[in-house]
Amino acid sequence: MLKVGLTGGIASGKTTVAEMFARLGCRVLFADRIAHQLMQLGQPAYEEIVRTFGREVLAADGRINRARLGALVFADAQQRAELNRIVHPRVIEEIEKEFARTAGAAPHANAMFEAALLVEARYHRRLDKLIVTWCTPEQQRERLLAKGLTPAEADQRLAAQLPSEEKRRLADYVIDCSGPLAATEKQVAEVFAALQRLAHAAAS
Protein backbone atom coordinates (compact mmCIF):
# COMPACT_ATOMS: atom_id res chain seq x y z
CA MET A 1 0.00 0.00 0.00
CA LEU A 2 1.15 3.51 -0.80
CA LYS A 3 0.78 6.12 1.96
CA VAL A 4 0.18 9.53 0.42
CA GLY A 5 -0.07 12.94 2.04
CA LEU A 6 -2.19 15.75 0.62
CA THR A 7 -1.71 19.26 1.92
CA GLY A 8 -1.62 22.90 0.86
CA GLY A 9 -2.25 26.36 2.16
CA ILE A 10 -5.61 27.33 3.62
CA ALA A 11 -8.27 27.73 0.90
CA SER A 12 -5.87 26.38 -1.73
CA GLY A 13 -8.27 23.65 -2.87
CA LYS A 14 -6.97 20.64 -0.95
CA THR A 15 -10.36 19.41 0.27
CA THR A 16 -11.84 19.70 -3.22
CA VAL A 17 -8.85 17.78 -4.60
CA ALA A 18 -9.17 15.14 -1.84
CA GLU A 19 -12.81 14.59 -2.79
CA MET A 20 -11.79 14.17 -6.44
CA PHE A 21 -9.27 11.51 -5.43
CA ALA A 22 -11.96 9.78 -3.35
CA ARG A 23 -14.31 9.65 -6.35
CA LEU A 24 -11.55 7.94 -8.34
CA GLY A 25 -11.33 5.23 -5.69
CA CYS A 26 -8.58 6.46 -3.40
CA ARG A 27 -9.05 5.83 0.34
CA VAL A 28 -8.96 9.38 1.71
CA LEU A 29 -8.67 10.22 5.41
CA PHE A 30 -9.57 13.80 6.33
CA ALA A 31 -7.66 15.14 9.33
CA ASP A 32 -10.25 17.81 10.07
CA ARG A 33 -13.11 15.30 10.15
CA ILE A 34 -11.15 12.99 12.44
CA ALA A 35 -10.30 15.93 14.72
CA HIS A 36 -13.96 16.90 14.80
CA GLN A 37 -14.90 13.40 15.97
CA LEU A 38 -12.17 13.42 18.61
CA MET A 39 -13.49 16.72 19.98
CA GLN A 40 -17.02 15.44 20.49
CA LEU A 41 -18.61 15.51 23.93
CA GLY A 42 -17.22 12.69 26.08
CA GLN A 43 -14.02 12.20 24.09
CA PRO A 44 -10.65 12.69 25.86
CA ALA A 45 -9.69 15.59 23.56
CA TYR A 46 -12.94 17.35 24.48
CA GLU A 47 -12.15 17.23 28.19
CA GLU A 48 -8.60 18.49 27.69
CA ILE A 49 -9.71 21.34 25.42
CA VAL A 50 -12.28 22.50 27.96
CA ARG A 51 -9.70 22.33 30.77
CA THR A 52 -7.20 24.29 28.68
CA PHE A 53 -9.36 26.94 27.04
CA GLY A 54 -12.29 27.22 29.43
CA ARG A 55 -16.01 26.81 29.02
CA GLU A 56 -16.25 29.94 26.88
CA VAL A 57 -15.37 27.79 23.84
CA LEU A 58 -18.54 25.75 24.35
CA ALA A 59 -21.87 26.23 22.62
CA ALA A 60 -25.12 26.29 24.57
CA ASP A 61 -25.56 22.50 24.11
CA GLY A 62 -22.14 21.79 25.64
CA ARG A 63 -20.41 20.95 22.37
CA ILE A 64 -17.20 22.72 21.37
CA ASN A 65 -17.97 25.75 19.24
CA ARG A 66 -15.29 25.29 16.57
CA ALA A 67 -15.71 28.80 15.18
CA ARG A 68 -15.19 30.30 18.64
CA LEU A 69 -12.21 28.05 19.32
CA GLY A 70 -10.75 28.85 15.90
CA ALA A 71 -11.05 32.59 16.46
CA LEU A 72 -9.24 32.18 19.77
CA VAL A 73 -6.32 30.09 18.54
CA PHE A 74 -5.72 31.95 15.28
CA ALA A 75 -5.33 35.15 17.28
CA ASP A 76 -2.63 33.65 19.52
CA ALA A 77 0.25 31.44 18.35
CA GLN A 78 0.76 29.99 21.84
CA GLN A 79 -2.89 29.01 22.13
CA ARG A 80 -2.75 27.51 18.65
CA ALA A 81 0.29 25.43 19.60
CA GLU A 82 -1.55 24.23 22.70
CA LEU A 83 -4.56 23.10 20.66
CA ASN A 84 -2.27 21.31 18.21
CA ARG A 85 -0.55 19.57 21.14
CA ILE A 86 -3.91 18.24 22.30
CA VAL A 87 -5.38 17.24 18.96
CA HIS A 88 -2.55 16.30 16.58
CA PRO A 89 -1.14 13.20 18.35
CA ARG A 90 -4.65 11.76 18.62
CA VAL A 91 -5.34 12.41 14.92
CA ILE A 92 -2.04 10.75 13.96
CA GLU A 93 -2.89 7.73 16.10
CA GLU A 94 -6.20 7.33 14.26
CA ILE A 95 -4.51 7.78 10.88
CA GLU A 96 -1.96 5.09 11.67
CA LYS A 97 -4.76 2.69 12.63
CA GLU A 98 -6.59 3.42 9.36
CA PHE A 99 -3.42 2.97 7.31
CA ALA A 100 -2.85 -0.40 8.96
CA ARG A 101 -6.44 -1.50 8.31
CA THR A 102 -6.23 -0.42 4.66
CA ALA A 103 -2.89 -2.15 4.13
CA GLY A 104 -4.32 -5.39 5.48
CA ALA A 105 -7.48 -5.24 3.39
CA ALA A 106 -6.10 -3.78 0.15
CA PRO A 107 -2.30 -4.02 -0.25
CA HIS A 108 -2.44 -2.55 -3.79
CA ALA A 109 -4.37 0.52 -2.66
CA ASN A 110 -3.49 4.17 -2.24
CA ALA A 111 -4.35 5.58 1.17
CA MET A 112 -4.33 9.36 1.37
CA PHE A 113 -4.14 11.62 4.42
CA GLU A 114 -5.49 15.14 3.79
CA ALA A 115 -4.32 17.65 6.39
CA ALA A 116 -3.62 21.38 6.50
CA LEU A 117 -0.65 21.07 8.88
CA LEU A 118 0.87 17.87 7.55
CA VAL A 119 4.23 19.49 6.79
CA GLU A 120 4.22 21.64 9.92
CA ALA A 121 3.74 18.47 12.00
CA ARG A 122 6.60 16.81 10.06
CA TYR A 123 4.31 13.87 9.32
CA HIS A 124 5.17 14.03 5.61
CA ARG A 125 8.45 12.32 6.49
CA ARG A 126 6.53 9.14 7.34
CA LEU A 127 4.71 9.00 4.01
CA ASP A 128 5.64 7.60 0.62
CA LYS A 129 4.52 10.57 -1.48
CA LEU A 130 3.41 14.15 -0.87
CA ILE A 131 0.91 16.12 -2.95
CA VAL A 132 0.60 19.88 -2.46
CA THR A 133 -2.30 21.96 -3.77
CA TRP A 134 -1.66 25.50 -4.83
CA CYS A 135 -3.37 28.70 -5.93
CA THR A 136 -2.36 32.35 -5.73
CA PRO A 137 -2.37 34.11 -2.34
CA GLU A 138 -4.95 36.51 -3.75
CA GLN A 139 -7.25 33.60 -4.56
CA GLN A 140 -6.76 32.12 -1.09
CA ARG A 141 -7.77 35.42 0.46
CA GLU A 142 -10.79 35.82 -1.83
CA ARG A 143 -11.99 32.30 -0.96
CA LEU A 144 -11.67 32.96 2.77
CA LEU A 145 -13.63 36.19 2.43
CA ALA A 146 -16.30 34.32 0.45
CA LYS A 147 -16.64 31.93 3.41
CA GLY A 148 -17.54 34.85 5.64
CA LEU A 149 -14.23 35.71 7.27
CA THR A 150 -13.37 39.37 7.75
CA PRO A 151 -10.28 40.71 5.94
CA ALA A 152 -8.40 40.74 9.26
CA GLU A 153 -9.38 37.13 10.02
CA ALA A 154 -8.40 36.01 6.52
CA ASP A 155 -4.99 37.67 6.80
CA GLN A 156 -4.51 36.20 10.26
CA ARG A 157 -5.15 32.66 9.05
CA LEU A 158 -2.97 33.02 6.00
CA ALA A 159 -0.12 34.30 8.17
CA ALA A 160 -0.49 31.40 10.62
CA GLN A 161 0.54 28.75 8.08
CA LEU A 162 3.80 27.84 6.45
CA PRO A 163 4.16 29.69 3.10
CA SER A 164 2.88 27.65 0.15
CA GLU A 165 6.24 27.90 -1.61
CA GLU A 166 7.92 26.00 1.22
CA LYS A 167 5.38 23.20 0.97
CA ARG A 168 5.71 23.07 -2.81
CA ARG A 169 9.46 22.51 -2.52
CA LEU A 170 8.79 19.31 -0.56
CA ALA A 171 6.12 18.00 -2.94
CA ASP A 172 6.36 14.97 -5.20
CA TYR A 173 3.33 16.32 -7.07
CA VAL A 174 1.87 19.84 -7.21
CA ILE A 175 -1.76 20.36 -8.24
CA ASP A 176 -2.56 23.85 -9.49
CA CYS A 177 -6.03 24.85 -8.27
CA SER A 178 -5.91 28.39 -9.60
CA GLY A 179 -7.86 27.60 -12.77
CA PRO A 180 -11.20 25.98 -13.65
CA LEU A 181 -12.29 22.78 -11.91
CA ALA A 182 -11.92 20.79 -15.12
CA ALA A 183 -8.21 21.64 -15.22
CA THR A 184 -7.81 20.55 -11.60
CA GLU A 185 -9.68 17.29 -12.28
CA LYS A 186 -7.34 16.52 -15.19
CA GLN A 187 -4.29 16.95 -12.94
CA VAL A 188 -5.86 14.79 -10.23
CA ALA A 189 -6.58 12.00 -12.73
CA GLU A 190 -2.96 12.09 -13.95
CA VAL A 191 -1.54 11.98 -10.42
CA PHE A 192 -3.96 9.21 -9.40
CA ALA A 193 -2.85 7.09 -12.37
CA ALA A 194 0.80 7.60 -11.38
CA LEU A 195 0.06 6.67 -7.77
CA GLN A 196 -1.82 3.55 -8.86
CA ARG A 197 1.19 2.39 -10.84
CA LEU A 198 3.49 2.99 -7.86
CA ALA A 199 1.14 1.20 -5.43
CA HIS A 200 0.92 -1.88 -7.66
CA ALA A 201 4.69 -1.94 -8.16
CA ALA A 202 5.28 -1.64 -4.41
CA ALA A 203 2.90 -4.51 -3.63
CA SER A 204 4.27 -6.83 -6.33
| pLDDT tens digit sequence for 126-180 | 999 999 999 999 999 999 999 999 999 999 989 888 888 899 999 999 999 999 9
Q: What's this model's pTM, rounded to 2 decimal places?
A: 0.91
Domain annotation for the chain: domains and CATH numbers: 2-203 (3.40.50.300)
Residue 190 has, within 13 A of its CA and on its CB side, a CA count of 10
CA distances to 54, 66, 82 from 196, rounded to whole Å, are 46, 36, 38
Residues 140, 152, 36, 25, Cα dihedral to 10°: 0
CA distances to 40, 67, 72, 131, 171 from 61, rounded to whole Å, are 12, 15, 19, 38, 42
| pLDDT tens digit sequence for 42-73 | 898 999 999 999 999 999 999 999 989 998 99
Q: Is the pLDDT of residue 107 over 90?
A: no
39: left (phi over 0), alpha (psi -120 to 50) or beta: alpha
Of the candidates 118, 138, 127, 132, the one whose C-alpha atom is nearest the C-alpha of residue 164 is: 132
